[in-house]
Amino acid sequence: MAGGLGQGTGKSARTYAGLGVPLILPAWLIIGIFLVVPILIMLVYSFLTKEFRGGVIWEPTLAAYDQFFFDRGLFGDEPPKIEWTYILIFWRSIWQAGLATVLCLLIGFPTAWFIATRPPNSRTIWLFLITVPYWVNLLIRTISMKFLIRDNGPLNQWLLDAGLISEPIHVINTATAVQLGLFYSYLPFMVLPIYAAVERYNFALSEAAADLYASRWVTLTQVIIPSVKPGIIAGCILVFVPSLGAFLAPDLLGGAKNFMIGSLIEEQFKGAAGNWPFGAAAAMILLTMVLIVLIFYARSQARGAR
């Protein structure tokens, strides 16, 4: 639309910047106490020596990181080789989280588009329906899913009864089951931001594109997607980041062979068998990876804004 109103981020933003300080203080306090301090504690713990009954001994060491990346034999006296176990777990996690993000995008974008193009009152109903399952705890939903997809669970039973398959599809305790779990857990985090972006999309732009000889595909890729890109990126981050650290889906649906970082870290802090510095180190490595993704995002945004 015509410029004028709403264009002036310049002067007014500066004038009101001072007012924000007292208002934003609680937010800063919460972020400080519940986010920055715990991360710092973890950072410190990752450089401490492990105590066998859980907990730490206050002796600085790189042992946790060393254990993550290098294999020095059973007694720790052999020349170091690369330790693939954990790198493999990380790689599997990235792959699973990436795949979940792509699947959520493929299903979430059309869903969000569908909802955003309904008449206003039915939009609310659709959004409500999307969020209804999320009122139930994730643990319970994941266990229900486990029950549903078991070899002799209702899903297989229905398919058998309907004659669509002759023997049960084995899904439980496979990577596919984990994927299904991740996809299901985080789909709304894709749908909601894209919905918000599509709702603000000016549909006259699609008409303008068609008027200028663009096919539907060109309109989608060159006009619609660039316009709703912030929503898509936000959705991808909101799905990718928690998927990367997820432990419920891999634990409950994946079995021992489909371990992901989240489960690895969880193990280290559970009971007497744990290794706090190692868990902290793995968490720090995960955090670093997530931060790299976010920095990429921030930079692409900054470039777009110019």
Partner 1 sequence: MPDGNGTIAVDIDNVTKRYGDFTALRDVSLAIADNEFFTLLGPSGCGKTTLLRCIAGFEDISAGAIRLYGDPIAELPPNRRPVNTVFQQYALFPHMDITRNVMFGLLRLGKSESEARKRAGEVLELVQLTQFATRLPAQLSGGQQQRVALARALAPNPKVLLLDEPLSALDLKLRQAVRLELQQLQHETGITFIFVTHDQEEALTMSDRIAVISDGRVQQVGTARAIYEEPNNKFVADFIGETNLIDVAVAAIDGATATCTLPGGAQFTCPAASGAHSGQGHLSVRPERVSLTDPAQAPLSGTVSRLIYLGTDMHVDVTLADGETVTARVQNSADTTIPEKGQTVGLNFEAGAARLLVD
Choose which of 25, 36, 208, 295 interacts with partner 1 (CB under 8 A): 208
| Location of structure tokens 């933003």 | 13
Nearer to partner 1, 114 or 201 (CB): 201
Q: 43 or 214, CB closer to partner 1?
A: 214
* 196 touches partner 1 (CB under 8 A): no
> Considering beta carbons, is residue 131 or 202 the nearer one to partner 1?
202
Q: Which of 155, 160, 196, 218 binds partner 1 (CB under 8 A)?
A: 218
Q: Three-state SS for 81? A: strand
Q: CA 243, CA 105: separation in Å to the nearest integer?
A: 14
Q: Answer yes or no whether residue 227 interacts with partner 1 by CB under 8 A.
A: yes
Enter the tokens of residue 118.
């309904």
286 and 39 Cβ atoms separated by less than 8 Å:
no
Q: Which is nearer to partner 1, 200 or 257 (CB)?
A: 200
Please tell me whether residue 4 binds partner 1 under the rule CB under 8 A: yes
Q: Which is nearer to partner 1, 208 or 273 (CB)?
A: 208
Q: Is 177 among the residues that bind partner 1 (CB under 8 A)?
A: no
Identify the burial level of 107 via C-beta atoms within 10 angstroms of its C-beta, where 0-12 means exposed, 13-18 middle and 19 or more buried.
Answer: middle
Binding residue (CB under 8 A) for partner 1 from 157, 226, 294, 301? 226
Q: Would you say 53 or 303 has its CB closer to partner 1?
A: 303
Closest distance between partner 1 and the C-beta of residue 215, in Å? 6
With CB under 8 A as the contact rule, the residue among 2, 82, 132, 302 that binds partner 1 is: 2
> Cβ 17 to partner 1, closest distance in Å?
21
Contact of 161 with 155, CB cutoff 8 Å: no
Tell me how many residues contact partner 1 (CB under 8 A). Answer: 24
Q: Does 213 bind partner 1 (CB under 8 A)?
A: yes
Say whether residue 210 binds partner 1 (CB under 8 A).
yes
Rounded CA separation 289/139 (Å): 26
End-to-end CA distance of the chain: 19
Interface positions, 37-76, toward partner 1 (CB under 8 A): none
Kindly tell me the burial class for residue 192, based on how many C-beta atoms sit within 10 Å of its own C-beta (0-12, 13-18, 19 or more): buried
Placement of tokens 């659709």 in the chain: 126
Q: Where are the alpha helices (DSSP H) in the chain?
A: 10-31, 37-45, 63-69, 84-116, 120-131, 138-149, 154-161, 175-200, 204-211, 216-218, 225-244, 248-249, 261-268, 276-305
Residue 1 makes contact with partner 1 by CB under 8 A: yes
Distance CA 50, CA 253 (A): 30
- With beta carbons less than 8 A apart as the criterion, state whether 236 and 267 touch: no
User: Which residues make up the interface to partner 1 (CB under 8 A)?
Assistant: 1-4, 7, 202, 204-205, 207-215, 218, 222-223, 226-227, 229, 304
